[in-house]
Structure 1
Amino acid sequence: MATVQSFKYALILISSIILNLFSANVFLRIRWEQSWTKMAAKEAETVASISCSGHGRAFLDGLVVNGKPICECNACFAGPDCSDFLSDCVVDADSGDPTFLEPFWEQHAASSAIVMAGWHRMSYEFNDGSLISEELKTHIRRVHDIVGNAVTDGRFIIFGAGATQLLNAAVRAISPEGSSSPEKVVASIPYYPVYKEQTEFLNSKNYKFSGDTSLWKSSAIDSSSSQNFIEFVTSPNNLDGQLKKAVLRGPFVKTIHDLAYYWPHFTAIPAPADEDLTIFTLSKLTGHAGSRFGWAIIKDEAVYHRMLTYMSISTYGVSRETQLRVLKLLKVVIEGKGREMYEFGYKTMKTRWDQLSKSVSLSKRFSIQDLEPHYCSFSGKVKKSSPAFAWLKCERQEDKHCCEVLKAAHITGRDGSLFGAESRYVRLSMVRSQDNFDLLLQRIEKLVTEEYASKSSMAPSVSRENKRNESMLLLLGSYS
C-alpha cells in the first residue's frame, strides 16, 4: 500500500514538474515574442516622437548625431528642430514628391505600421516559385473594384519598381523583334519627359522616340505605310490634368495608357479604363514614392509573359519588404471603401488648386490651364478639378523663358521645353508638403501684387503724358 502511495506522489510530482516546465516555456516564449516586437515598436515610436516643429521629420534610417536621429527639415526651414524659417530661400515647385498625404498617414499610424522579423521572406521567390505576392495582387484588384477606375477581371497583373520601370517593360513587350524599321514611340505635347528620356537612353534598335503624336495622324491610318506606332496616353495628363484619349487609330498602332493620376484625389473617374495595357503607381495613390512600386494591368497573355521576362531579367522582381509594406497600406486604403483617404486627398488638392487659380486669375502676366468639372462615378456627383500640377504660362511677349521669370522670384519650376512645349510654359508642383505649397502661393501672390504695383506707378506718368498732349493740341489750335 505504501509503495502504491509513493508511486502516486511521484507521479503527481513529475506531472507538476512537466506542467510547470511547459508553462514556463510558454511564458518565456510569449515574453520573447513580445520583447522583440516591443523593442522594434519602441525604437520606431521614439524616433517618430522627436519634435521637428511641424516643419520636418526624424527617420529611423536618418543621420544620427550624439546617438540621436536628427530632424530632416522641409525646404526653407532649418535648425536642430526645423524652427528657423529661411525667408530668402528658393521654393521648390519642380519636384513631384507627393508628401501632401503625410498628415493622413500620421492619423493612421497604428493601422499602417508594420513590424518585420529579421528572417522575413529571405528567399528569392515565394513558395509557389513566383516573384509576386498573390495576396497583394488580390488587394490591388479590390482597390480598383472599389474606385472603379480600371477593369481587372480576366487581366494579368505584374509589379515593377515604380511606373518608370514598367513603362519601358511595356514598350519592349509590344515591340516586335527583328522589324525592318523601329517602332515610333509618340506622345501628345505636353508629355511626361520620361517617355522621351528613357526611350533615348536605352537606345533600342526596335523602337525610337518620334515626338508629338499629332505629327503622325495621317501615317497611322495609311494602309500602305510600313510604319508602326506605340502611343503613350497619359490620363489625366501629368502636366495639365486633362483627361486624354488615344489620338492615333489604325492597325499599326499600339497604346500604353499611363494612368498614374487616375485616382479620385486628382480627377473625376468617369468610367473604368478598359484598355490593352494600363500602368499605375503607388506614389500617386498613397503618396509613398520612396517605396518604388507600380503595377501594370495587361489584357494579352503573350505581352504579360514578355513583360514578366523583362522584370525577371532586369531586377528579379520587386523586393518582398516593399510588397509587404504596400499590402499593409492598401488594407488601410480599402477600409471604409477607401473614402477617407480619397476625401482627404481631394479636399487638400482642390483647396490648393482653388487658392492658386484664384491668385493667378488676378494677373495679366500669368495664366494656368482651364479645367472643366466632370461627373465622377466614384463619388456619384460632378467634381471640380484638383490637379497635381499647375501648367503656368507667361503671357508677356518678352517673358519667353518663364522659368527665369519665376527663378527671379525664388521659385523653381520645370521648364515647358522638357515636355515638348514652349519655354513660355512651366510646370509647378502642388503635391508637396503644406509648408512648400504655402510658400509657393505666397511667392505667386507677391508676383501678382508687384504686377499691379507696377501698373499703379505707371498711371501718373500716363496721366501727365495725356495732359501734355492736351496742352499741345490747345497750343496748336491757337495757331490755326
Structure 2
Amino acid sequence: MVPRSHPAIFSQKFSLTSALLVFSLVLNGLLLLRPPKHGQLLSDDNWKGMGWTRKAAEEAEAVSLQYQCSGHGYVFVDTFITDDNGSLACECNACYTGLDCSQFLPDCLANANEGDPIFLEPFWIANAEAAATVVPAWYRMSYDVKDGLEISLISPELEKQIRAIHELVGNAVTQGRYIVLGTGSLQLINAAVYSLSPFHAPNSSQVVSASPYYGAFRDQIEMFDSVESVWKGDARAWIKQTESLNSSTFIEFVTSPNNPKGILDESVLTGNNVRAVYDHAYYWPHYTGIPRPADEDVMLFTLSKLTGHAGSRLGWAIVKDYDVYKRMYMYVRVNTFGVSHDTQLRATRLLKAIINGYRQRQPKRLEDGQTNEKHLLFHYAYRVMRSRWQRVERIFSGSDRFSLQSLEPGNCTFFRRVTGPSPAYAWVKCEREEERECAGVFEKGGIIARNGKAFEADRRYVRLSLIKREDNFELLERRLRALVSSSAIVTY
C-alpha cells in the first residue's frame, strides 16, 4: 500500500504511533542522562528505576572503557576476536596489529581506494551520549510502520528529521516533496531508473553519466540487466545525437559535487526525453560550499557521507512528482520491503543530535563555531577536510610529475562566508609520458588508489580517498611525500 498523504499534510498529523515514537526517543535520552565520568562505571544510584536497560548499557560502557587499543583500534559489544585467555582483543585499524593494536606494519600499503567516511569517528565518540540508542528487544517487530490509519515503510519521526536537517543546512528543498528510503543510496539508483522509464516503451531507457562518473551507476545498471534500461556510458558522447535523444528516454545521473573531482556539476543532456537524477551524496558543507538549496526532480542523499555511518546502509530520495515517488516506493517495497527499523531509529537519533547541537549553540558564522566545534558536526568535519586538502595540495604543489584537480573557494550559505575547498577525494594525474598506468605508479609507492578507468576516465588518473581514519590519512600523507619527491620512473 502506498502512503496516500501529501507531504504538506504530514506535519499536521498526530497519531498514537507518532506519540509512542516521540516517547521512545525521549526515553533514549533519559536512559543515558547523568552519564558516568570517564573511567567510572555506572553506580546503583545512576540506575534507580532504569530496569531492563541496565545490563545492556553496563556491558557497552564496560567494553568502551576497558579497552583502549593503543589509540589504533576498537572493541565493540559484538567483537568476536579473543586472545589465548578468551578475553576480547582489539579490532585494529589498517596497518596495525597485535592484541592491543600497538604494532605498526611498516610494509603495509596506504589504502586510499575506499570511500569509507570514518574520519567522523572522533566526533561521535565525543558526542556518545547525544546520539546513543537503546533498542528494546521488541522494538518494531512488524514489517511496517503505522502512521495513524496508514501503513508506511518510513518512520514519521525520521522523515521529520530528514526534512529538518535539509532545512538547517539549506542544501535541498523538501517542502511539497516526497521522501523514499533505500538501503543506502545504491538501492535508489535502480529505483530511480525503474520509476523514470516509461511502461512498455519500444526502446529501453538509455542510462548515462558524464565522465568521470561514480562507477556504481554503471555497475548497478549492468548487474540487474533490466529490459527497461541499458547502460550507454559517457553522457557527453550523446550530446549531438539528436535522433537518439528524440527517439528514446535518456536518464542521466549527475553527481554534484562530482565523485571524483569535487566540483558542482550540472546535467549535460537536454531534450523532452531526458530525465536527470542528481546524486547529492557530498552536497554537505564539510565537502563543498552550499550556494543554494538543490531543487531537482529526483535527488539522492545518503547517511554515510553526512554522518559517517556507512554501515547503517541508509539513503533517501527527494522526489517532486507523485507518480515517480509512487513507483520508487513500490520498487523498494518489492525489492527489500523497506529499510531496517533499527537503522531508521539510529539515523533518527544521529540527525537529532546534529540538529540539537546547532539549535543549542546557534553559531552565526564559521568562526563562531570553533569553541564549540566538538558539538557541531559540520564545523568539525569541515575543519578536518579543509586541513587534509591543504596538506595534499602542499605535497603536489611543486610537482611536474603529478597534477591535482583545481578547486576554487565558493560561497557557503550555511557557514555565511566563502569557504576554501574541502573535497572528499583527490583526483590526480600522472603527467609523465612513460607513466601511463597511474594506479601502478602509486602502488609502487605504497599506495592503493582507484584507477581512473573505474570512472570511465584515462588510466593516467587515480582517485585518492581523503575521508578515512586519521591513522590512514597520516600514512597516505607520508607515502605521498616520498612518492612525489622520488625521481624514479615507473613504466607498464
Same fold flag (TM > 0.5) = yes
Within 5 Å, give how 1:247-266 maps onto structure 2. 247-266=268-287
Alignment partners' CA distance in 1, 2:154 and 2:427: 37
Letter in 2 for 1:74: N
1:359 and 2:399 aligned: no
Q: CA deviation at 1:59?
A: 1.2
Q: Runs of 5+ in structure 1 lacking a partner?
A: 1-29, 456-480
Q: Are 1:157 and 1:296, in contact at CA under 8 Å, matched by a contact in 2?
A: yes
1:167 and 2:189 aligned: yes
Q: Are 1:233 and 1:245, in contact at CA under 8 Å, matched by a contact in 2?
A: yes
The 1:353/1:31 distance shift into structure 2, 3 A limit, reads: closer
Q: Are 1:60 and 1:69, in contact at CA under 8 Å, matched by a contact in 2?
A: no
Q: Are 1:133 and 1:323, in contact at CA under 8 Å, matched by a contact in 2?
A: yes
Alignment partners' CA distance in 2, 1:148 and 1:31: 41
Q: Are 2:111 and 2:447, in contact at CA under 8 Å, matched by a contact in 1?
A: yes
Q: CA deviation at 1:127?
A: 2.4
Map of 1:94 onto structure 2: 113
Map of 1:113 onto structure 2: 132
Map of 2:337 onto structure 1: 316
Q: CA deviation at 1:32?
A: 8.9
Alignment partners' CA distance in 1, 2:240 and 2:47: 73
Alignment partners' CA distance in 1, 2:219 and 2:47: 54
Map of 1:47 onto structure 2: 63
Q: Give the RMSD, CA atoms, in angstroms.
A: 1.7
Q: CA deviation at 1:227?
A: 2.4
Q: Please list the CA deviations of residues 233-262 of structure 1 after superposition, one character each: whole Å capped at 9, or x if unmatched.
A: 110001010100111111010000000000
Letter in 1 for 2:138: W
1:57 and 2:74 aligned: yes
Q: Are 1:126 and 1:132, in contact at CA under 8 Å, matched by a contact in 2?
A: yes
Q: CA deviation at 1:335?
A: 1.6
Normalised to the residue count of structure 1, the TM-score between the two structures is: 0.86
Q: Are 1:277 and 1:299, in contact at CA under 8 Å, matched by a contact in 2?
A: yes
Letter in 1 for 2:64: A
Alignment partners' CA distance in 1, 2:346 and 2:381: 20
Q: Are 1:47 and 1:69, in contact at CA under 8 Å, matched by a contact in 2?
A: no
Q: Are 1:411 and 1:443, in contact at CA under 8 Å, matched by a contact in 2?
A: yes
Within 5 Å, give how 1:287-366 maps onto structure 2. 287-337=308-358, 340-366=376-402
Map of 2:89 onto structure 1: 70
Aligned residue pair count? 423
Letter in 2 for 1:450: S
Letter in 2 for 1:209: W
Secondary structure at the aligned position of 1:225 is classed as helix
Letter in 2 for 1:46: A
Alignment partners' CA distance in 1, 2:337 and 2:459: 40
Q: CA deviation at 1:170?
A: 0.6
Map of 2:22 onto structure 1: none
Secondary structure at the aligned position of 2:295 is classed as coil
Q: CA deviation at 1:36?
A: 2.3
Choose from 304, 329, 344 the match for 1:283.
Answer: 304
Deviates more, 1:312-321 or 1:59-68: 59-68
Q: Are 1:183 and 1:228, in contact at CA under 8 Å, matched by a contact in 2?
A: yes
Letter in 1 for 2:241: S
Letter in 1 for 2:237: L
Secondary structure at the aligned position of 1:34 is classed as coil
Letter in 2 for 1:302: D
Secondary structure at the aligned position of 1:326 is classed as helix
Q: CA deviation at 1:31?
A: 7.6
Map of 1:476 onto structure 2: none
Letter in 2 for 1:109: A
Q: Are 1:97 and 1:289, in contact at CA under 8 Å, matched by a contact in 2?
A: yes
Q: Give % identity.
A: 49
Q: Please list the CA deviations of residues 410-467 of structure 1 after superposition, one character each: whole Å capped at 9, or x if unmatched.
A: 110110001000111001000000000000010010112223xx69xxxxxxxxxxxx
Alignment partners' CA distance in 1, 2:349 and 2:155: 12
Alignment partners' CA distance in 1, 2:460 and 2:441: 10
Alignment partners' CA distance in 2, 1:416 and 1:224: 28
The 1:141/1:130 distance shift into structure 2, 3 A limit, reads: same
Letter in 2 for 1:362: G
Q: Are 1:59 and 1:69, in contact at CA under 8 Å, matched by a contact in 2?
A: no
Alignment partners' CA distance in 2, 1:131 and 1:68: 41
Instruction: Name the one with the larger helix percent.
Output: 1
Secondary structure at the aligned position of 1:69 is classed as coil
Q: CA deviation at 1:125?
A: 1.2
The 1:32/1:446 distance shift into structure 2, 3 A limit, reads: same
Alignment partners' CA distance in 2, 1:165 and 1:149: 22
The 1:273/1:248 distance shift into structure 2, 3 A limit, reads: same
Within 5 Å, give how 1:51-450 maps onto structure 2. 51-65=68-82, 66-128=85-147, 129-219=151-241, 225-337=246-358, 340-450=376-486
Q: CA deviation at 1:33?
A: 5.5
Q: Are 2:395 and 2:480, in contact at CA under 8 Å, matched by a contact in 1?
A: yes
Normalised to the residue count of structure 2, the TM-score between the two structures is: 0.84
Q: CA deviation at 1:78?
A: 0.7
Q: CA deviation at 1:336?
A: 3.6
The 1:356/1:223 distance shift into structure 2, 3 A limit, reads: closer
Alignment partners' CA distance in 2, 1:203 and 1:123: 32
Q: Please list the CA deviations of residues 44-89 of structure 1 after superposition, one character each: whole Å capped at 9, or x if unmatched.
A: 1111121111111111112142443321111111111101011111
Alignment partners' CA distance in 2, 1:139 and 1:414: 34
Letter in 2 for 1:103: P
Q: CA deviation at 1:284?
A: 0.4
Alignment partners' CA distance in 2, 1:150 and 1:314: 27
Alignment partners' CA distance in 2, 1:181 and 1:145: 40
Write out the 4+ residue segments of structure 1 that deviate beyond 4 Å after TM superposition.
30-33
Deviates more, 1:175-184 or 1:420-429: 175-184
Q: Which has the larger radius of gyration?
A: 1
1:38 and 2:54 aligned: yes
Alignment partners' CA distance in 1, 2:224 and 2:394: 42
